[in-house]
């Protein structure tokens, strides 16, 4: 029996066990939406802007480990996905973006709502396809999900012309994929693994430095903990690695880099061996590259060979899936204690803990984050917007499990957190999901309140409302003589009224004593809830390493 391309698309998505699609319809997708109308196996979430669809699919993928799926029409619908696709690409998130396209006969003729989305997204996708023949559709979908979810994960785009969705062919979904040009390396070279084990066993001041690869490789976090405890190695994490090692563990250094802990940065700069696992030594981590970790040799474990040695010279490279490499590496690691090294780190922790000056008046943003952890018992999924709110959420909530901290790392996308929270809640309906937001970022996709209310997606938003674009304002204060050029938001709306206008709940909080009660009320309310916390307007994120400075040149911000 021959099926239309639209029917083949939906049946193929079922074969890939897709449960939810975040999308927005358009003319060239009418046949696809007609098939979605008839299916009960896949839930479609109608967003209010296509960027919201991409970010929601991204949040769903990060929270579940599954491939997120978003759908948009041709032209502006497709281009509105671009920021979300780029965001997923920078953070290596498995995503399949489906876009409608004009008739194949009209491609290149500047037809109505035509855009070369394949050309536009080529630099920001792991791979992309333009399907010109319905006979190729099922195979393309199978390949797209395989490529998105294997090796180093990432987004894949499939462009679907209108006539391909109408044309019919026999449907047979392939059972497996064999792409000759795509063969990720999963098993590390045993000689390199043994060499790395020898270096670890001989080192006196090692540091485990873990990134998002530990989250992506299911179960790798357990092996990181096993290795750290067996050889008594302190562990520091990147923003993307939060939850890959428990912040509450005695060996935890928490986050390093520009807004990392002082003791993590001291440790990395004083170490004699860095064991990098699923991390890429980006500029927010290294600071001034020429002065980064001057005494340390580097072991770098990553599934992406192009990441190794790209930013920092690597002495022992190991290409492979971090879980598989760690399974083998730990066999050759000798048990030991490092009293002198960990004692030195403990002294740094006591001297320079993560702290802020609480004057007892008004609401400090860090206090709100601490209270969110307290009232949720640390069991919530936290998404963030970008800026100060993001850093406070990373610093003052202790993450103990993977996939509980969801944030835009590489691209730093304002407006990411709220739609990502919607996606995370769809994937993990039994979890409390909080978007810790800034008043600037939240307004970038505030319209997705309509999506949350319409679909009864019970997400919570905690706005750390300081009346400005906080992180940029902080830089202007510290490095531009307090010339606040276009960073003061002196006409912010009433966020509670906006929430209520969409049918959500809202509460404005101005007193410190009311923070805990407001959080508890939001959590017990079975509806999307916006909490507008009016916080200290000139509170800054510290520690801070100025751009281009060495990690030793941290600003503490404390008197």
**Residue spans per domain, the chain:** 2-170, 190-351, 365-534
Q: Are 531 and 522 in contact (CB under 8 A)?
A: yes
Q: What is the pLDDT of residue 558?
A: 73
Q: Residue ranges of the chain with pLDDT lower than 70?
A: 559
Catalytic residue among 7, 126, 142, 162: 162
**Active site annotation includes 162:** yes
pLDDT score, position 140: 98
Say which CATH architecture domain 365-534 belongs to. 3-Layer(aba) Sandwich (3.40)
With residue 395 as reference, give the H or E element that holds it. helix 388-396
Decide if 2-170 and 365-534 have a common fold: yes
Catalytic one of 269, 391, 426, 471: 471
Distance (Å, rounded) from C-alpha 173 to C-alpha 179? Answer: 16
- Give the CA-trace dihedral at 499, 501, 504, 505, to 10 degrees: 70
Q: Which of 50, 385, 448, 539 is catalytic?
A: 50
Q: Return the pLDDT at 339.
A: 97
pLDDT confidence of residue 361: 77
Residue 383: alpha-carbon gap to chain centroid: 8
Integer Cα distance of 552 and 192 in angstroms: 31
CA-closest candidate to residue 136, choices 107, 108, 158, 152: 158
Active-site residue flag, 542: no
Question: What sections of 135-206 are H helices per DSSP?
Answer: 137-149, 162-166, 190-202
The strand pairing partners of 531, in sequence order, are 462, 507
Q: Tell me if residue 554 is catalytic.
A: no
pLDDT of residue 557: 81
Cα separation of 365 and 4, whole Å? 54
Residue 559: the pLDDT is 59
Mean pLDDT of the chain: 97
Q: What's the pLDDT at 133?
A: 98
Task: Write the CATH number of the domain with boundaries 190-351.
Answer: 3.40.50.1220
Question: CATH homologous superfamily of domain 2-170?
Answer: Thiamin diphosphate (ThDP)-binding fold, Pyr/PP domains (3.40.50.970)
CA distance 458 to 452: 7
């Amino acid at each position: 029996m021959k099926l239309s391309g639209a029917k083949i698309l939906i049946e193929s998505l079922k074969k890939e066990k897709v449960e939810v699609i975040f999308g927005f319809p358009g003319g060239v997708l009418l046949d696809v939406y007609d098939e979605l109308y008839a299916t009960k196996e896949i839930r479609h979430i109608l967003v209010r802007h296509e960027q919201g669809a991409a970010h929601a699919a991204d949040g769903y993928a990060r929270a579940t480990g599954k491939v997120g799926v978003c759908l948009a029409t041709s032209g502006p619908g497709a281009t509105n996905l671009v920021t979300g696709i780029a965001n997923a690409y920078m953070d290596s998130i498995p995503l399949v973006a489906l876009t409608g396209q004009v008739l194949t006969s009209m491609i290149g003729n500047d037809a109505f709502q035509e855009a070369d989305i394949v050309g536009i997204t080529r630099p920001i996708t792991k791979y992309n396809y333009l399907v010109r023949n319905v006979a190729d559709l099922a195979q393309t979908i199978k390949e797209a999900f395989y490529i998105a979810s294997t090796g180093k994960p990432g987004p894949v785009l499939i462009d679907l012309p209108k006539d391909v969705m109408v044309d019919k062919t026999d449907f047979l979904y392939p059972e497996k994929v064999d792409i000759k040009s795509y063969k990720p390396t999963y098993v590390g070279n045993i000689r390199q693994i043994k060499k790395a084990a020898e270096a670890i066993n001989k080192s006196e001041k090692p540091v485990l430095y873990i990134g998002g690869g530990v989250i992506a490789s299911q179960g790798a976090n357990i092996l990181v903990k096993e290795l750290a405890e067996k050889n008594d190695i302190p562990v520091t994490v990147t923003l993307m690695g939060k939850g890959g090692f428990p912040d509450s563990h005695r060996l935890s250094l928490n986050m390093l880099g520009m807004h990392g802990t002082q003791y993590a940065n001291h440790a990395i700069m004083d170490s004699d061996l860095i064991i990098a696992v699923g991390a890429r030594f980006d500029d927010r981590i290294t600071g001034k590259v020429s002065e980064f970790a001057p005494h340390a040799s580097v072991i770098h474990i990553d599934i992406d060979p192009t990441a190794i040695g790209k930013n920092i010279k690597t002495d022992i490279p190991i290409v492979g899936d971090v879980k598989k490499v760690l399974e083998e590496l730990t066999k050759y690691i000798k048990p030991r204690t490092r009293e002198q090294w960990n004692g030195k780190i403990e002294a740094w922790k006591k001297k320079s803990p993560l702290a802020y000056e609480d004057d007892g008046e008004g609401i400090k943003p860090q206090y709100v984050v601490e209270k969110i952890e307290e009232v949720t018992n640390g069991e919530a999924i936290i998404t963030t917007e970008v800026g100060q709110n993001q850093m406070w959420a990373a610093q003052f909530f202790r993450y103990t499990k993977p996939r509980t901290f969801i944030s835009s790392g590489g691209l730093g996308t304002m407006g990411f957190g709220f739609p990502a929270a919607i996606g995370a809640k769809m994937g993990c309906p039994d979890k409390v999901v909080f978007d810790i937001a800034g008043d600037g970022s939240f307004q970038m996709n505030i319209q997705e309140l309509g999506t949350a209310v319409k679909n009864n997606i019970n997400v919570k938003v905690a706005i750390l409302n300081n009346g400005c674009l906080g992180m940029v304002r902080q830089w202007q204060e510290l490095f531009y003589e307090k010339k606040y050029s276009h960073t003061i938001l002196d006409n912010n709306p009433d966020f509670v009224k906006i929430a209520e206008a969409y049918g959500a709940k809202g509460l404005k909080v101005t007193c410190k004593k009311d923070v805990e009660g407001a959080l508890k009320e939001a959590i017990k309310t079975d509806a999307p809830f916006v909490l507008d916390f009016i916080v200290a307007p000139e509170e800054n994120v510290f520690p801070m390493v100025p751009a281009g400075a060495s990690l030793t040149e941290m600003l503490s911000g404390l008197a």
